[in-house]
Chain A
Amino acid sequence: MPLTNEQVRRLARLSRLAMTDAAIDTTRTRLDGILALIARMQAVDTSGIAPMSHPQELATRLRTDEVTESDQRTAFQAIAPQAEAGLYLVPKVIE
């Protein structure tokens, strides 16, 4: 089922993407193409096959529970737009 421009606008808002009306049109066309491909794949009978969450048939590696990282605040905050008193500063957020 093809997407509507309204659905694309909503996705853009959820993804915090500012898009012009022209961009909404092109994005909708591209997403429709991707969804059509998914629809073709979903037409294949997969009953009895457990879905995979990852293309590789592997299990995740685990790390030992130990502290291996040291303080790199100065380095990280050197590239932050704004920092003060050890904090990253961002436009005011109030819930």
Chain B
Amino acid sequence: MSRADWEVVIGLEVHAQLNTEAKIFSGASTAFGASPNVQASAVDVALPGVLPVLNRGAVERAIRLGLALDAHIAPKSVFARKNYFYPDLPKGYQISQFELPVVQGGTINIQVGEGAAAYEKTIHLTRAHLEEDAGKSLHEDFHGMSGIDLNRAGTPLLEIVSEPDMSSSAEAVAYARALHALVRWIDICDGNMQEGSFRCDANVSVRKKGATVLGTRREIKNLNSFRFLQQAIDFEIGWQIETIEDGGAIVQATVLFDPDTGETRMMRSKEDAHDYRYFPDPDLLPLEIDPAWIARVATELPELPAAMKTRFIGDFGLSAYDASTLTASREVADYFQGTVAAAGKAQAKLCANWVMGELAARLNKAELDITNTPVSPAQLGGLVARIADNTLSNAIARKVFDALWNHEGVDADDIIGKQNLKQLTDSGAIEALVDEVLAANPKSVEEFRSGKEKAFNALVGQVMKASRGKASPAQVNDILRRKLADDR
């Protein structure tokens, strides 16, 4: 059997760290990188007699996500204790939500692949619930002991759980990227994957094509980059198919991905590890969210990517693919809108081409993020406007772009003036150049007349060269054709 005979089923659980000032149940700071345990209050270290008090900011961020996913925001939700023993969990339980999560259902649209092969898919969400993070265990040797840092303990998280709607690693990555962009777009999470602000667990199973029952799944824990997510899922799919084809069976398990070997391996499976004995936390009353609160948060949300995409298609005449690409992150969307504002709405398509083409390629080559671009949206918009009004040919426009990139002028007009790059559109001047070129290249003229179209292109090239690239190629074409016909 080949891989094509198998169907892959993937669901993702994402832990998004909420960007609140204080922790979810205490007034300690959530800032990253402090000395160990200086941001661990009595509640976070679980001293006896302390009580948790819920942070309004964390709830508000959950509401924002619920609205952005078009999900049901529960008017009443409940916090539960998830019981397990681990030294970085000083209470012996994690406060989470179990039966009644704050966000229920919801959808997100993803775009998978690029160019002509790209397709869209809607991924359904199961739920998103509020919970606290645990501390960190450091296993460097402290006289044979482990060190515990509780600064992270009590940091607010939203665990966002998808339905098993994805059928390839590419779809899983597209979903994770879309969610990553969304939580940053609505400003509830900084999305910093190196610092662990956005971590993915992937549930992966395979089944024969056409089977109606799901295969047994294995859960890959703690993937902290999109590349690892893709590699881990691909390895896991291959391993599961091979195991079954070799006559083995998949046993439900939690596995870890080793980036060094590119393989997944089973975590030492602990007996009873998943018997969490959830029950409602008696220290916390139910969380109530009234419609007025939801309505207020809704008015404060920025335009969401899906709505912006529709607007780009409707108002700017962009293709669905372009509109998706330009709304893939808020930074790119802001940049594009800034460019259109400077160039004029009529030039939106040209702006899109420059942002996704030349700019993206240059940023990529320089390993720069769009937030660190040397060319501002206003500068690029100004450049696009000069292409649109025929001041610049595309070739010269790229030169001007280079100059803007290297800070050789304040804007496109400044560079055009300084470097004398204005496109030559005076037909008299172009005709003079054409005459010179025709006189100097009798051989090419002869070849053209004997039917060699290539010779014509060579002549166009000569005229462009004579104009030092400043003539409008379209105009050169016209004049050259006319002259060659006249002289016949």
A: which residues have CB within 8 A of B?
A: 10, 13-14, 16, 53-54, 56, 58-69, 71-73, 76-77, 82, 84-95
Cβ-defined contact, B37 with A76, below 8 A? yes
**In the bound complex, CA of A90 to CA of B149 (Å):** 11
Selected contact of B145 from candidates A13, A66, A73, A82, CB within 8 Å:
A82
B: which residues have CB within 8 A of A?
A: 20-22, 26-29, 35-42, 45, 47, 53-59, 76, 78, 83, 85-87, 100, 137-139, 142-150, 267-268, 272, 275, 277, 280, 282, 284-288
Known: A63-B53, A66-B22, A93-B146. A76 touches B27 (CB 8 A): no
Q: How many A-B residue pairs have CB under 8 A?
A: 131
Cβ-defined contact, B142 with A84, below 8 A? yes
Cβ-defined contact, A13 with B59, below 8 A? no
Residues of A within 8 A of B83 (CB): 14
Cβ-defined contact, B145 with A53, below 8 A? no
Most buried by A among B28, B37, B85, B87: B37
Cβ-defined contact, B144 with A63, below 8 A? no
**In the bound complex, CA of A61 to CA of B58 (Å):** 13
**In the bound complex, CA of A69 to CA of B59 (Å):** 20
Residues of A within 8 A of B282 (CB): 54
Residues of B within 8 A of A68 (CB): 22, 27
Cβ-defined contact, A61 with B41, below 8 A? no
Cβ-defined contact, A69 with B37, below 8 A? no
New A-B contacts (5) at CB < 8 Å, excluding given A14-B277, A93-B146: A54-B284, A65-B21, A72-B42, A89-B143, A93-B87
7 smallest A-B Cβ distances: which pairs? A65-B57, A68-B27, A87-B147, A86-B36, A59-B288, A53-B280, A62-B56
Known: A13-B272, A88-B150. A63 touches B139 (CB 8 A): no
Selected contact of B37 from candidates A53, A63, A73, A92, CB within 8 Å:
A73
Known: A56-B285, A58-B285, A94-B139. A85 touches B36 (CB 8 A): yes
Cβ-defined contact, B286 with A62, below 8 A? no
**In the bound complex, CA of A95 to CA of B277 (Å):** 21
Q: Which residue of A lies closest to B31 (CB)?
A: A67
Shortest CB distance A95–B (Å):
6
Residues of A within 8 A of B54 (CB): 60-63
Q: Which residue of B lies closest to A86 (CB)?
A: B36
Known: A59-B286, A60-B284, A65-B55. A92 touches B20 (CB 8 A): no
A-B contact pairs, 27 of them (CB 8 A): A53-B78, A53-B100, A58-B285, A63-B55, A63-B56, A65-B22, A65-B55, A65-B56, A66-B22, A67-B27, A69-B39, A73-B37, A73-B38, A73-B40, A76-B37, A76-B47, A77-B37, A86-B35, A86-B38, A87-B36, A87-B37, A87-B147, A89-B142, A89-B147, A91-B87, A91-B145, A92-B139
Residues of B within 8 A of A91 (CB): 87, 145-146
Shortest CB distance B61–A (Å):
9
Residues of B within 8 A of A95 (CB): 267-268
**In the bound complex, CA of A61 to CA of B52 (Å):** 10
Residues of B within 8 A of A94 (CB): 139
**In the bound complex, CA of A76 to CA of B90 (Å):** 13
Cβ-defined contact, B147 with A76, below 8 A? no
**In the bound complex, CA of A3 to CA of B105 (Å):** 38
Q: Which residue of A lies closest to B270 (CB)?
A: A95
**In the bound complex, CA of A90 to CA of B284 (Å):** 29
Known: A62-B56, A85-B36, A89-B148. A53 touches B286 (CB 8 A): yes
Cβ-defined contact, A63 with B145, below 8 A? no
**In the bound complex, CA of A36 to CA of B20 (Å):** 45
Q: Which residue of A lies closest to B268 (CB)?
A: A95
Selected contact of B272 from candidates A14, A72, A90, CB within 8 Å:
A14
**In the bound complex, CA of A63 to CA of B52 (Å):** 10
**In the bound complex, CA of A62 to CA of B136 (Å):** 27
Q: Which residue of B lies closest to A55 (CB)?
A: B282
Cβ-defined contact, B285 with A60, below 8 A? yes
Selected contact of A92 from candidates B36, B85, B144, B287, CB within 8 Å:
B144
Shortest CB distance A31–B (Å):
14
Residues of A within 8 A of B58 (CB): 65
**In the bound complex, CA of A64 to CA of B47 (Å):** 22
**In the bound complex, CA of A53 to CA of B278 (Å):** 12
Q: Which residue of A lies closest to B25 (CB)?
A: A63
Most buried by B among A61, A76, A85, A88: A88
Cβ-defined contact, A90 with B45, below 8 A? no
Q: Which residue of A lies closest to B44 (CB)?
A: A69
Cβ-defined contact, B146 with A90, below 8 A? yes
**In the bound complex, CA of A35 to CA of B277 (Å):** 16
Residues of B within 8 A of A58 (CB): 285
Shortest CB distance B143–A (Å):
8
Q: Which residue of B lies closest to A52 (CB)?
A: B286
Residues of B within 8 A of A88 (CB): 37, 87, 147-148, 150
**In the bound complex, CA of A50 to CA of B148 (Å):** 42
Residues of A within 8 A of B275 (CB): 14
Most buried by B among A61, A62, A77: A62
